[in-house]
Amino acid sequence: MNGKTTYCLEGSVFIAGAIVQWLRDGLGIIMSSADVEKLAASVPDCGGVILVPALVGLGAPYWQPDARGAIFGITRGTTAAHIARAAVESMAFQSRDLLGAMRSDADLPLATLKVDGGASLNNTLMQFQADIVGATVRRPVVAETTALGAAYLAGLAVGYWQDQSDIARNWALDQEFQPRMSAAERDERYGRWQQAVKRLLA
């Protein structure tokens, strides 16, 4: 914009929200995608279950297209709710993987994470996302921003908005999620995720 160079970092996750579709269509443990939040929230935690959703391989930062998904930590006490919660948490773990790589590349700290998309409407996921990255998560009033972004670009092109600051003023907060998890628990939980991924790749 205005002759200035802008750099963006992008990380590709192959399966995130689609894991909820798999719970619905593949396992049949929920009737609709929206049901996953209630099911996942019906248990206090995932009961030691870790789900690595490499259904079509693992994207960034692993780049292992031949990897296949796995569920670790199942016991006789494991229920559909634990698997649903592990599926929801897998989205947050993958986001932390990406954010870790981005922080390393950009050498910048993360203070706030702005989210969007259908999965961002899941409060259980958003709270866990804040907990596992140790940063504030902010969800906008308009969660479906792909089409909105295209409209903003078109508006900039025809002069409806003067610059990016005009667009930034349109952003409105719906809900903010503060991290509540201790640093020790955060590191322990993320460490178990990393071990699960290593086992998968081995």
Q: Is residue 164 part of a domain?
A: yes
Q: Is residue 3 part of a domain?
A: no
Give me the residues paired with residue 139 across strands.
175
Segment 152-172, tens digit of pLDDT: 989 999 999 888 888 989 889
- 15 token code pair: 């399966």
Task: Please give the angle made by the CA atoms of 189, 182 and 112, to the nearest 5 degrees.
Answer: 90
Specify the pTM.
0.91
Q: Cα(103)–Cα(172) distance, rounded to whole angstroms?
A: 26
- 198 token code pair: 């290593």
Q: Which residues, including other chains, have CB under 8 Å from residue 75's CB and lie 6 or more apart?
A: 47, 48
Structural domain for 22, as ranges: 18-201
Q: Is residue 64 part of a domain?
A: yes
Kindly report the CATH number assigned to the domain that includes residue 116: 3.30.420.40
Other residues' Cβ atoms within 10 Å of the Cβ of residue 189:
21
Catalogue the E-assigned strands of 24-181. Answer: 50-52, 70-72, 112-114, 136-140, 173-177
Q: Is residue 140 part of a domain?
A: yes
Segment 61-109, tens digit of pLDDT: 999 999 999 999 999 999 999 999 999 999 999 999 999 999 998 888 8
